[in-house]
Amino acid sequence: MNSAPVPSGALTLDAEALYRELLRGVQNLRQAGTRLVGVTSGGAWLGERLQQDLALAGEPGVISSAMHRDDFARRGLSATAQTKLPFDVNGAHILLLDDVLYTGRTIRAVLNELFDYGRPAGVLLAVLVDRGGRELPIQADYAAARVSLPADQSLALARANDGRFSFQVERAS
């Protein structure tokens, strides 16, 4: 796991290399019958690719934070994919996937959404990048990298037409 802070303005992350690291971490976290669930949209992309690379049957779940966000009144419904869980959540071992873990608010919201569908046996969290800055007591069970970014910058996973991943660093609005 990488943990070197990156100075402002010098962030260079190889998303494909971090994906390979995440793949290794997920192989160690999952057990027989673990179901992958990706947070829209970056986590869902990770779930799709991991499902294929791990040769898992079925399709991964997709979960949206839109209905449980604490800033719903300000943001409204997102145009991203809605929740789709193609399996029974009750008693399932869930591996929740996200691209970037920051404040923890998105994860809190998707956990609430997940429990609207049933009561899993357990939930683990794996992320591509943990950027710190938590506002809630939420942590990843596995992070491919840990980086520091100023609060006025956002980091998001992008996916090219050929499926390759990259990161976009932008000024937060």
Given a cut of 90, whether residue 71 has pLDDT beyond it is no
CATH at 60: 3.40.50.2020
The reply to whether 43 falls in a domain is yes
**At residue 34, what are phi and psi to the nearest 5 degrees?**
-60, 135
Domain with 160, as residue range(s), is 15-71+81-171
**Is the CB of residue 102 less than 8 Å from the CB of residue 128?**
no
The reply to whether 5 falls in a domain is no
The reply to whether 20 falls in a domain is yes
Helix (H, G, I), strand (E, B) or coil at 108: helix
Given a cut of 80, whether residue 86 has pLDDT beyond it is yes
Confidence of residue 76 (pLDDT cuts 50, 70, 90): low
Mean pLDDT of the chain: 89
The reply to whether 96 falls in a domain is yes
Confidence of residue 170 (pLDDT cuts 50, 70, 90): confident
Measured distance CA(139)–CA(10) in Å, rounded = 25
Given a cut of 90, whether residue 121 has pLDDT beyond it is yes
Instruction: Please state the domain count of the chain.
Output: 1
Mean pLDDT score, 137-142: 97
Express each pLDDT in 11-52 by its tens digit: 678 999 999 999 999 999 999 899 999 999 899 999 999 999
Which tokens is 75 given? 């943001």
Of 131, 128, 170, whose CA–CA distance to 39 is shortest?
A: 128
> Cis link prior to 41 (omega < 30° from 0)?
yes
Global pTM reads 0.88
The reply to whether 9 falls in a domain is no
The reply to whether 116 falls in a domain is yes
The reply to whether 76 falls in a domain is no
Measured distance CA(101)–CA(108) in Å, rounded = 11
The reply to whether 1 falls in a domain is no
